[in-house]
C-alpha cells in the first residue's frame, strides 16, 4: 500500500485525494444487497462526492443520484446518470431552478415544506413529488448532521403533509425521510420508517424515499450493521411498491484517503504540532464538527508521541487531529488521512488563496488514474474583474 501512495505522490504531487475502485464497488454492493428483493432505485448523494468518474462507476452499477444544485446535476451529466434516475433535494429551491430541472427532465423532487409546495408545486406538473416529512426522531449523531428533529430546518410536520394531501388536488407520489448522517444504530431508522408508514397507509401512499445517513467506523464506533438493517427494514419496506434511497458517506468515506505531506514539526511549551499541507481547506470535517479521522504516517521512523496534526491556515480551528498518538513524523514524510472519501473534496475550499487537491483513482487492476487535476491558482481569479 505504501508503495502506491509513494508512486502517486511522485507522479501527481500532494495533497491528493486517493480513491480505491475496489472498495467503492464493494460498498455500493453492500447498499444494493439490502434492498435486493424490492422495487428499488439506489441513488448516490452527490453532495458526499461529486467526482464524475466515481459517479460513473456507481452509475454502471445501477445507481441514480440525489442532487441539490445545478452543479451536482452537471456532475451527473458528465457521469452519464440519466434524469429519470435523479432526485432533487433541498430546503431552498428557486423557481429558476425548477424550470432548469424541469427542462432537463429530472424525475423526482423531495418537497421540503408546505410553503415550498405552495410556492412551487401546487399547480406545476412534470415532477414526481415526494413530501419530506420530519418524523421528530433523534438519530443521536452530531447536531450539525442531525436533521430529523422538530427543531431542525428540514422537512414538514406530519400534519402539514396531511394538509397538502387533503387540501390540494396535486398528486403526491411518496414520502421522503432523511433523519441525519453518520447514524450507526438501526433503531432511529426503524422508528422513523414505522412512523411514516402509518401515515403512508392512511393516505395509500405507495412510494418512499428513505434518504441516507448510514454510519461508518471512523474511530471506536461500530459501523451500521447492514444485515441487521436489512432484517429490520425490509419487512416494513414491503408495504411499498417503490423504494428509493440516497446514500453518500457509507459508500464513499472508506473508499478514499487524503494523501498529504509534512511541512514542519513544531514544538511549543505545551504541544507538538505536525504541520501538513492540508487543513480545513481540504478536509473541513475536523474543524467543523470535531470529526475524527485516523491518520497514518506511511513510513514511520520514530517512536509514538502525543501530537496535533494541523493545517497551514490562519485559524486555530485549522486542525486535522488533536492529541493523537502517532509515530513522530519528519519533514516531507507522507501521511494519509483515512475515511476521507465522503464530504472531503466536495467540501474543500480556497481559504487563504489555497487550491484544491488533485483526485486519483486506484483501479481494480492496480492502475493509477488521475480523475481530477489539481486546481491551479489562475482558476481562483477567473471570475474577477480588474478594470
Ligand atoms: C436529503 C439527504 N439525503 C441524503 C444524504 C446523504 O447522507 P449520507 O451521506 O449520510 O448517506 C444527505 C446528507 O446529509 C441529505 O441531506
Condensed to tens digits (0 to 9), the pLDDT of residues 161-183 reads: 999 999 998 899 999 999 999 99
Condensed to tens digits (0 to 9), the pLDDT of residues 277-315 reads: 999 999 999 999 999 999 999 999 999 999 999 999 999
In this structure, whether the domain defined by 21-253 belongs to CATH 2.30.30.110 is answered with no
Distance between Cα 14 and ligand 1 center (Å): 29
Please state, in angstroms and rounded to a whole number, the distance separating the CA atoms of residues 192 and 213: 12
Please state, in angstroms and rounded to a whole number, the distance separating the CA atoms of residues 345 and 354: 14
Please state, in angstroms and rounded to a whole number, the distance separating the CA atoms of residues 216 and 296: 18
Distance between Cα 357 and ligand 1 center (Å): 24
For the entire predicted model, the pTM comes to 0.97
Ligand 1: nearest atom to the Cα of 176: 1
> Which part of the chain is CATH 2.40.37.10?
2-17+254-374
Q: Is the Cβ atom of 48 under 6 angstroms away from ligand 1?
A: yes
Q: Is the Cβ atom of 213 under 6 angstroms away from ligand 1?
A: yes
Of residues 314, 384, 385, 386, which has the active-site annotation?
314
2-17+254-374 maps to which CATH number?
A: 2.40.37.10
Condensed to tens digits (0 to 9), the pLDDT of residues 237-284 reads: 999 999 999 999 999 999 999 999 999 999 999 999 999 999 999 999
Mean of all residue pLDDT scores within the chain: 96
> Which part of the chain is CATH 3.20.20.10?
21-253
Q: Any residues with CB less than 8 A from the CB of 52 and at least 6 apart, and which?
A: 75, 76, 78, 79
Amino acid at each position: 500500500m505504501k508503495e502506491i501512495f509513494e508512486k502517486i505522490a511522485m507522479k501527481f504531487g500532494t495533497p491528493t485525494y486517493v480513491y480505491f475502485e475496489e472498495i467503492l464497488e464493494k460498498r455500493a454492493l453492500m447498499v444494493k444487497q439490502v434492498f435486493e428483493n424490492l422495487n428499488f432505485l439506489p441513488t448516490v448523494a452527490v453532495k458526499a462526492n461529486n467526482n464524475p468518474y466515481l459517479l460513473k462507476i456507481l452509475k454502471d452499477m445501477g445507481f441514480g443520484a440525489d442532487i441539490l444544485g445545478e452543479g451536482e446535476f452537471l456532475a451527473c451529466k458528465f457521469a452519464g446518470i440519466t434524469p429519470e434516475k435523479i432526485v432533487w433535494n433541498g430546503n431552498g429551491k428557486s423557481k429558476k431552478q425548477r424550470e432548469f430541472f424541469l427542462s432537463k427532465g429530472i424525475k423526482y423532487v423531495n418537497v421540503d415544506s408546505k410553503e415550498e409546495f405552495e410556492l412551487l408545486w401546487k399547480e406545476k406538473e412534470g415532477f414526481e413529488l415526494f413530501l419530506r416529512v420530519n418524523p421528530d426522531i433523534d438519530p443521536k449523531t452530531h447536531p450539525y448532521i442531525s436533521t430529523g428533529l422538530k427543531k431542525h430546518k428540514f422537512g414538514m410536520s406530519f400534519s402539514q403533509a396531511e394538509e397538502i394531501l387533503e387540501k390540494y388536488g396535486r398528486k403526491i407520489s411518496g414520502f421522503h425521510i432523511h433523519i441525519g448522517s453518520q447514524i450507526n444504530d438501526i433503531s432511529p431508522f426503524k422508528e422513523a420508517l414505522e412512523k411514516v408508514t402509518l401515515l403512508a397507509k392512511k393516505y395509500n401512499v405507495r412510494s418512499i424515499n428513505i434518504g441516507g445517513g448510514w454510519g461508518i467506523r471512523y474511530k471506536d464506533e461500530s459501523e451500521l450493521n447492514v444485515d441487521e438493517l436489512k432484517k429490520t427494514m425490509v419487512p416494513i419496506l414491503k408495504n411499498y411498491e417503490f423504494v428509493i434511497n440516497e446514500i453518500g458517506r457509507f459508500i464513499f468515506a472508506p473508499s478514499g484517503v487524503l494523501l498529504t505531506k509534512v511541512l514542519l514539526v513544531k514544538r511549543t511549551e505545551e504541544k507538538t504540532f505536525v504541520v501538513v499541507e492540508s487543513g480545513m481547506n481540504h478536509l473541513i470535517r475536523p474543524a467543523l464538527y470535531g470529526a475524527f479521522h485516523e491518520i497514518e504516517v506511511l513510513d514511520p521512523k520514530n517512536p509514538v508521541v502525543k501530537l496535533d496534526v494541523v493545517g497551514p491556515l490562519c485559524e486555530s480551528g485549522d486542525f486535522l487531529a488533536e492529541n493523537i498518538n502517532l509515530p513522530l513524523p519528519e519533514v516531507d514524510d507522507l501521511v494519509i488521512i483515512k475515511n476521507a472519501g465522503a464530504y472531503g473534496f466536495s467540501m474543500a475550499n480556497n481559504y487563504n488563496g489555497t487550491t484544491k487537491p488533485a483526485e486519483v483513482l486506484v483501479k481494480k487492476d492496480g492502475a493509477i488514474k488521475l480523475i481530477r487535476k489539481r486546481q491551479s491558482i489562475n482558476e481562483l481569479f477567473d471570475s474577477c474583474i480588474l478594470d
